Structure 1
């Protein structure tokens, strides 16, 4: 009887220990799940497309800033197109393009094969460096800046939506008013008019006016630079060849004259 009671006691003790272990393990698992959910929740707090923000900044740099620099105009921070109002600007400035297939993080020096992997690295590892309190999403102005036209490698023919065109036109005009107030002097007035023509006039379903009609930053292509260098190298060689060729012809003419004079003297004797 004592042996039976003792074995039952041991079994009961083992059962209690196993239950305690399961409770502790379950608590740890729940903590882990809560941590993962918090991390996932934090990562989804940024409702701002990095891709569209990049497209918007590319348009600003290529189709707006050259003309702003020409006017020597300083854009106010209250302007939504100011670099400080781009949520991803600091991260974008910490991208190092080492080589064709090599990108480097400017924060931790980690290297990646493509820019897309570097963007994911920023989202996962350097999320805390985003200025969430003072920055705005540059992708929000994509409708006014025609981002879809720049992002689509193959332009798609879609039916124009009058309501969307009117909405984008209104946003475009508000950007012109906020960034280049006409009462801020001649430069601001000129840029205000330029912005309307460059971006806003194309927001219509009647056709005619195209986006970026006032031009863009003039960039020299690699092909153009290669041809220029090749021309500079070959042009002097070409002139040297012409010079030597003409000199050779003149030398041959002198020799022929000498020979002809010698033949005449022999015949006369």
Structure 2
């Protein structure tokens, strides 16, 4: 009996030993596969992070700033035939998103096309997301400046939200924004660079900087901006161009009909005279 018990104990120990060897032989492969899977996942995430370059600059506010520059400043710059210095923050080359904005093709109300890869999107928002995810490598991050940083001087909030509620004026913030605005005028339009620069310097102060105050009711863009063609005027002009040829055609046909009638009347008169004389 005691001998049988020893034999059973030895068999049980041998079985446990074999199971331990089997587990130890398979566990390294499991560990290797696990580590390999984790490394592939980490590599994929890193590639995605490298592919999507995050730029800490608001595209929407930069677009609003450029809209203000183009509408309320550039018409006067073009009129003076003035070349904005490259060191001026308002220069188009210093806009981080300028090249991408110029590669937007607005085909229709619900169709926007990427000028780089020709992909089509149903709204500008999706095209912006496409630029951020696929063409962020084309951004000139080294030289390009964030135009949104100038929004405090250019009154972007008025353009982005026409229903902006009036808030209590902060004298310290108004003074800081006016200082930024005046610095732009000094850098972009130095008064010692000639009459054109001097006039534009004065205009920039009146157009943008004077409104940065808590005294009085100074409004930005007091000198006006680019003249916009009215939609009604455009429709009226198109209709006029379409109807004008028709009007001339009717006048021509009427005159020809009148001449034909006069000739017929003369023939009838001549025939009547001959009949009476006979």
CA drift of 1:18 comes to 3.5
Give the whole-Å Cα distance in 2 for the aligned partners of 1:197 and 1:155.
22
1:173-231 deviation per Cα after TM superposition (whole angstroms, max 9, x unaligned): 00000000011111111110111111111111123221111111112133321111113
Q: How does 1:124-139 map to 2 (within 5 A)?
A: 124-139=133-148
1:119 correspondence with 2:119? no
Are the structure 2 counterparts of residues 214 and 31 from structure 1 closer, same or farther at C-alpha, using a change threshold of 3 Å? same
Contact 2:185 2:204 in 1 (8 A): yes
Give the whole-Å Cα distance in 1 for the aligned partners of 2:135 and 2:256.
70
Candidates 173, 176, 182, aligned match of 1:173: 182
1:210 correspondence with 2:219? yes
Residues matched between the structures, number: 269
Are the structure 2 counterparts of residues 27 and 166 from structure 1 closer, same or farther at C-alpha, using a change threshold of 3 Å? farther
Q: How does 1:214-229 map to 2 (within 5 A)?
A: 214-229=223-238
Equivalence for 2:210: 201
Are the structure 2 counterparts of residues 142 and 42 from structure 1 closer, same or farther at C-alpha, using a change threshold of 3 Å? farther
> Could you say what the CA RMSD is over the residues aligned between the two structures, in angstroms?
3.5
Q: Which runs of 5+ in 1 are unaligned?
A: 253-269
Equivalence for 1:46: 55
1:233 correspondence with 2:251? no
CA drift of 1:134 comes to 1.1
1:55-94 deviation per Cα after TM superposition (whole angstroms, max 9, x unaligned): 1111111111111111101111100011111111111121
Give the whole-Å Cα distance in 1 for the aligned partners of 2:42 and 2:56.
23
1:29-73 deviation per Cα after TM superposition (whole angstroms, max 9, x unaligned): 255246536754885752111111111111111111111111101
Equivalence for 1:164: 173
What secondary structure, in the 3-state scheme, does the structure 2 residue paired with 1:103 have? strand
CA drift of 1:233 comes to 3.3
Contact 2:58 2:148 in 1 (8 A): yes
TM-score, normalised to structure 2, is 0.79
Equivalence for 1:189: 198
1:146 correspondence with 2:150? no
Equivalence for 1:32: 41
What secondary structure, in the 3-state scheme, does the structure 2 residue paired with 1:195 have? helix
Q: Which runs of 5+ in 2 are unaligned?
A: 1-9, 262-278
Candidates 13, 17, 28, aligned match of 2:26: 17
1:147-187 deviation per Cα after TM superposition (whole angstroms, max 9, x unaligned): 01000142222221211111111100000000000111111
Are the structure 2 counterparts of residues 69 and 8 from structure 1 closer, same or farther at C-alpha, using a change threshold of 3 Å? same
Equivalence for 1:256: none
Are the structure 2 counterparts of residues 42 and 206 from structure 1 closer, same or farther at C-alpha, using a change threshold of 3 Å? farther
Q: Give the structure with higher Rg (CA).
A: 2
CA drift of 1:9 comes to 3.0
Contact 2:53 2:133 in 1 (8 A): no
Are the structure 2 counterparts of residues 132 and 198 from structure 1 closer, same or farther at C-alpha, using a change threshold of 3 Å? same
TM-score, normalised to structure 1, is 0.82
